[in-house]
Structure 1
Amino acid sequence: MTYTRRKAADHLATFLIALSACAGVAALVVILGYVIVKGVPALNLDFFTKRPLPIGEVGGGVAPAILGTLYMLGIAALIGIPIGMGAAIYLSEYGHGRFAAVVSFVIDLIAGLPSIVVGVFVWALLVRHLVGQYSALAGSVALAIIMIPITTRTVEEILRLVPNSLREAALALGAPRWRMILQVVVPTARAGVITGVVLSLARAGGETAPLLLTALGNQFFSFDLFSPMASLPVQIYNYAVSPYGDWHTKAWGASLVLVMIVAVLSLVVRLVTRTPRMR
């Protein structure tokens, strides 16, 4: 290949890469712009502070759904993040042999499961048998199951990027292996670990099918783990399938609020993991 052809191929590849990047950003901008345009008219004080009104009435808000989403995500994080972190540390630092292969396979299998299958499993286990009714606990467990493989895979890959020289230095100083992991490896990979956790929270926060089968929904304020609880994805679904224009507007508004929650989580990650500039 001559120099001219190599140069032309290089320019073509650069153009295609830039075009792909622009297409991805453009799609995101269009989606966000459309949600903002449709959702902003629904935003007011009542929208954030009041509960939904009965069918057909104009007004009300989605305050129970916002609080319910944050509440169930918090419970799911308490369940799923420690399990995902533990599995990631095991696969990264101890993962050798058949058992590690089985754990890795199971994590990949759970990651590939449709969310509605997770919802059906939790419904059959908790809703029908252990708890006996739709509940926030069942919804939180379903979200935790969705979070575990994302946290595990992301954190595992980040921990593998930590240089072995740091591990060897800690061990050479006499630190036991568990302390080396907790005080050297994990803090070194802090930014990636937090990013993985937030990714799992963002993924779980937008799930509708599992919550329809587990938490069901609630038109009132509730913080009882063993009772049905409202959530933004379910509220968006209920509003979107209704025949009322006001509810359609509120569906767009709730969608915008859900996007804002994910954006705030991402902003917090950037602030927490920001490396101070050297002067």
Structure 2
Amino acid sequence: MQFSSTETYVAPPDLAMAVNAAITLERPLLVKGEPGTGKTELARQVAASLDLPIVEWNVKSTTRAQQGLYEYDAVSRLRDSQLGEARVHDIANYIRKGKLWQAFEAPGKVVLLIDEIDKADIEFPNDLLQELDRMEFHVYETGEMVQARHRPVVIITSNNEKELPDAFLRRCFFHYIRFPDAETLKRIVEVHYPGLKHRILDEALSQFLELREVQGLKKKPSTSELLDWLKLILAEDLSPEDLKRPAGEMLPKLHGALLKNEQDVALFERLAFMARRQR
């Protein structure tokens, strides 16, 4: 099982190596990087490349580790007992399987995505240590031991909003997705917009990379935002000349696709004002 770039996803050699190393070691792959660099999409593309189903667990701030294993619906059982339902005598009827259970009981190998693990409570990763390590867990209500039929390919993403516990990190293969260089960005754009004229792409990339280098940005635009911006440029049928900024202007055309908060827009307006004063 070897992962490489797909028709819709450009994987740099170091990223492909990290995925394949994690598969060989049978360790979870922990992927960090700026938001919008394709961490979540990586798991979907790994599944597509290896022709495997994918089970996605999207973590929220309120998510508990137990929910990934199973949940016991005591309220429904109590209600059914009051109504005299026959199913109340089998507690298994009230066990709701979580995403890990679904991945463990799958008839074949799957890709298990645990997305944005750093959104949850700090204890969340620690609570999954044994389950991800041993690929099994105990259902206390039924006495059942759930074991993975086939060890899934586990991909865990993080936006680096919280430090993850050392014990958890020790069990993972780690990779940081660096922001793509200009040549890789061109390959990514070619995948999404094949045949885009070189002059338009060169002008757009030049402005995009220049914008990312501005000091003081609260949120640098990502690959995802570049693709959105190019989509608007194509929809508006803008030429390279249309993209060029007038003297004294610093904000690119259709900048709302690139800058996502008022502080960054105000920063560019201040820089433009200062530049005009110095002329």
Same fold at TM > 0.5: no
- With normalisation by structure 2, the TM-score equals 0.21
Structure with the greater alpha carbon radius of gyration: 2
Higher relative contact order at CA 8 Å, sep ≥6: structure 1 or structure 2?
1
Query: Going by fraction, where is strand more abundant, 1 or 2?
Result: 2
- With normalisation by structure 1, the TM-score equals 0.21
Query: Going by fraction, where is helix more abundant, 1 or 2?
Result: 1
